[in-house]
Amino acid sequence: MNDKRLYSPKYIREVLDKFGFKFSKALGQNFLIDGNIVRNIVKGAQVGKDDYVLEIGPGIGTLTEELALNAKKVVAVEIDKNLLPILDYTLASYDNVELVQGDILKIDIHKLIDEKLNGGPIKVVANLPYYVTTPIIAKLIEDDLNIESITVMVQKEVAQRIVAPPGNKQYGSLTVFVNFYSDPEVLLIVPKTVFMPQPKVDSAVIKLTIKEAATDVDRKLFFRIVKAAFSQRRKTIVNSLSNKELGLDKEQVRELLEKSNISPKARAEDLKIEDFIKICQTIPSLDI
């Protein structure tokens, strides 16, 4: 095993220089350089010897190494071809790591879990590239994948939006979406100083424990309603839901809200997930 751990900034510089690697801003490359944070992410994810782990964006392998030391197997998907020879070098002594070159948004994750991760259930652990945080989370939680939990570093502001309670300014469609599929919690707030190069904003590690999504709900309709409600969040719910896209006029929305026990004066940010579910389930009973 390599005696130099990958979170040492000096060693990272050495490795990057050896391979002539240049950071790509466009790919959201901000590498971790703090051993405590790396250890705390893996501890927070509760990765143990029986776990199959999917890592997204291993970079030069800093988090991957800590995962390899704790998990049964790690599959790490990296988009940047230039990092593959570096990862081969830095992770050479770990035989429970498999590298996959590709874009996580394009890869068939069902197949990946079946073929390389024992069919799951798996844990996802990553320091996510910030330019695609939301699409990656959406793909992971929407697709009925065999995932137990997702522990990821995201921008602090995104973490705050995900865990915001109803009534809070940050509470929005992302909150409802993530809470529909999982129980989210913030594990750590992370200062920008622990990355190379330093990003402009602070970060946070969140853990999404996947739950069984409500099965008695038309998901498409549910998210159309949530989107319509928050697209005009300053308006009362009766106004934001009366629109052509949903095919409802004001009278119908009033009836819908009354049947769902929701005040027409409420705004989207006042509604809990259960309220949106109620609205969704009541629509078929309307005379339209």
Binding positions for ligand SAM, rule: CB under 6 A = 27-32, 56-59, 62-63, 77-80, 83, 103-105, 127, 129, 132
Nearer to ligand SAM, 47 or 238 (CB): 47
Q: Supply the minimum distance, in Å, between the C-beta of residue 59 and ligand SAM.
A: 3
Output 77 or 226, the one with its CB closest to ligand SAM: 77
Nearest residue to the partner ligand SAM, using Cβ: 57
Q: Is 17 exposed, middle or buried (0-12, 13-18, 19+ CB in 10 A)?
A: exposed
The SS3 assignment for 205 reads strand
Query: Minimal distance in Å, beta carbon 186 to ligand SAM?
Result: 18
CB of 157 to ligand SAM, least distance (A): 16
CA distances from 170 to 174, 191, 229, 268, 276 (A): 9, 21, 14, 12, 17
- In this complex, which beta carbon is closest to ligand SAM, that of residue 13 or of residue 265? 13
Considering beta carbons, is residue 8 or 282 the nearer one to ligand SAM? 8
The minimum distance between CB 33 and ligand SAM, in angstroms, equals 8
**Crossing angle (nearest 10°) for helices 173-181 and 133-142:** 30
Query: Taking every pair of C-alpha atoms in the chain, what is the biggest distance, in angstroms?
Result: 71
Phi, psi (rounded to 5 degrees) for 85: -65, -30
Task: Report, in Å, the least distance between residue 105 CB and ligand SAM.
Answer: 5
- Cα gap 211→183, rounded to integer Å: 7
Nearest to ligand SAM of 44, 172 (CB atom): 44
